[in-house]
Amino acid sequence: MKPPLRLLLVLALSPLLYAQSPAASPPASPANDGARTAWFREARFGMFVHWGIYAVPAGEWNGRYHTQGGEWLQRIASIPIADYKALGPKFTADHYDPKAWAALAREAGMKYVVITAKHHDGLALYDSAASDWNVVKATAAGRDLLAPLAAAVRAEGLRFGAYYSQSQDWTNPGGGNYGDAKRWDPAQLGDYDTYLKNVAVPQVREILSSYHPDIIWWDTPVGMTPERVKPFADALAELAPDIISNNRLGQGFKGDTKTPEQHIPPRGYPGELFEVCMTMNNTWGYKTKDTDWKSVRQLLQHLSDISSKGGNFLLNVGPDASGQIPAASVERLQAVGRWMKVNGEAIYATEAGPFPRRLPWGRVTQKRREDGGVTLYLHVWEWPADGRILLPTVREIPSAGRLLALSGEVSAEPASDGLQVRLPGAAPDADVSVVRLDFPGPVNVTQFAYTLPGSDGRIEMGVADADFHGGAEGNFVITGSGADAYAAGWKQASWSIDYTVRVPKAGRWRVSAEVGADQRAKISVGVKQKPPVIADIAVTKSDREWTVVDLGEIEFPAKEITLELKPVREGWQGGPRLRRLWLTPVN
């Protein structure tokens, strides 16, 4: 999955490389047709499993620990094929318990499991007739690892999916095409199309025929022209016409789902299926020293956020070479499962919430009931001190309201700016509490998607008004609630922040922000087709100190605009914490 940073640009550009090319053949089945994708849209939550021989070195090679190792270690460390294959006797899978894996997924509230049938190192987790580089012939595991997991997953009532790296293979000759055609071992040399014809396509047909997956999860489409895509698409049409596939096969193949990796798209993809894939720590494959685990609170809020945008959450585990899932992963999944047992109805089979802007206290999902009514689920991340939250511009009154975690009613009453919901006592859940509101009919939301000027002409925006653009290597972290919420963790120079606003007239506007900073930083502030200004951010005294800084004057056109905050890459060591931003008209 996650490539080293020097390859992120190639990966980022890959959707453009195939989206603009003519299709070699249509997708195997109509994208997003209701009956075929219904189960996927209702599931919302799945388990990703990255397991392979890379779990043996676990990020370390020749005495050096690679922070970007994991499943990419063979390529990052340029490990010769003979040396990499010599790890086979240590990949034992002697503690592999597929029934326990499947039970854990079910206990966590997950509805499907996707495993790496073959990752970029080319090792197939079954006895492939197309290549002897497989777990049966080349490792101490000595047996098919896919079949028992597929059976166990289905026995738990879950769906089974297979990940397949079709574009690159670092071990089978001729594979490994990743745009830059890097080779570090003469044994890798060979013809790419011959590799696709003799290894990749036959293996995909083996997987489809033997394991009948409900999902095929392609990866890295670089180099996959329409002509190279066609045999794979034909295999789907012939052997698995009802399968769900993602958008990473190659040129001309849209697939069913978009696949944002390691970050949540700020506004989702309205009207389209998408699935956010994410690790619990910093790597997909097992690494002994990667202990930077996301908290249960983070995972629950990610699940809440993704569901509120109509997407699925595919959360990864990386078992070790013996087949054991790390205890930290198990503990977090069990905690998420306890929450799902109480609050799962606010996730499963829900739609994106009706609010075009994020709410400062949490997120909203909804369901349309058969009686014509609508149920809103309010995912309260930060329990208000006064026990009140606002649903902006909502005028309808619910017929019933309650907490999912506790008995007792929740009341709501009209307010000048929407529907005010009164919550009882303290939060029933320290991480995410859910309120159910049942409305007898449709809920009409007239909230603008952008922030409007106040009575003084100024536009004030908080964290909930910002779109945070992270990347495959992570994302911003939102801390606090309401007006006190702030964004932190601006680690990478490739990340940026956007604000969408509508200004009443063209002219100059002064931009200012409330920030805290541990180191000096320079930020480019501007709008498209206008020259940006460069703002210097000075260090503040502590992580609790906030200061208002002048970011400069910008010429705005009179229309909806996107104000962009981007790092000045030279000398970038990290960005400031950001709490509020103001736009003040100059003329």
Supply the pLDDT for residue 3. 56
Q: Are 398 and 339 in contact (CB under 8 A)?
A: no
pLDDT at 409 over 50: yes
What is the C-alpha to C-alpha distance for residues 241 and 191, in angstroms, rounded to an integer? 30
445-504 residue pLDDT tens: 998 877 778 888 899 999 888 888 887 667 788 887 777 889 998 988 999 999 988 888
Supply the pLDDT for residue 183. 81
239-298 residue pLDDT tens: 999 999 999 999 999 999 999 998 888 889 999 999 999 999 999 999 999 999 999 999
In terms of average pLDDT, the best of 166-170, 181-185, 436-440 is 436-440
Supply the pLDDT for residue 315. 98
Q: Which of 127-136, 264-273, 481-490, 565-574 has the lowest mean pLDDT?
A: 481-490
Q: Are 52 and 141 in contact (CB under 8 A)?
A: no
pLDDT at 303 over 80: yes
Tallying the residues shown for the chain, one arrives at 587
Q: Are 273 and 256 in contact (CB under 8 A)?
A: yes
pTM over 0.85, yes/no: yes
Supply the pLDDT for residue 22. 34
Q: Are 211 and 176 in contact (CB under 8 A)?
A: no
What's the gap between Cα 202 and its chain centre? 30
Supply the pLDDT for residue 399. 96
pLDDT at 395 over 60: yes
> Mean pLDDT across the chain, nearest whole number?
90
- 138 φ, ψ (degrees, to nearest 5): -120, 0
CB-hemisphere CA count at 13 Å for 300? 27
Please classify residue 93 by burial: count the beta carbons closer than 10 Å to its beta carbon, then call 0-12 exposed, 13-18 middle and 19+ buried. buried
What is the C-alpha to C-alpha distance for residues 227 and 344, in angstroms, rounded to an integer? 43
What's the gap between Cα 353 and its chain centre? 18
Q: Are 51 and 116 in contact (CB under 8 A)?
A: yes
Mean pLDDT calculated for residue range 3-25: 37
pLDDT at 349 over 80: yes
Supply the pLDDT for residue 89. 98
Fill in the amino acid letter for 459. I
pLDDT at 97 over 50: yes
Q: Are 163 and 146 in contact (CB under 8 A)?
A: no
What domains can be seen in the chain, in order of their start residue?
5-346 (3.20.20.80), 353-439 (2.60.40.1180), 459-585 (2.60.120.260)
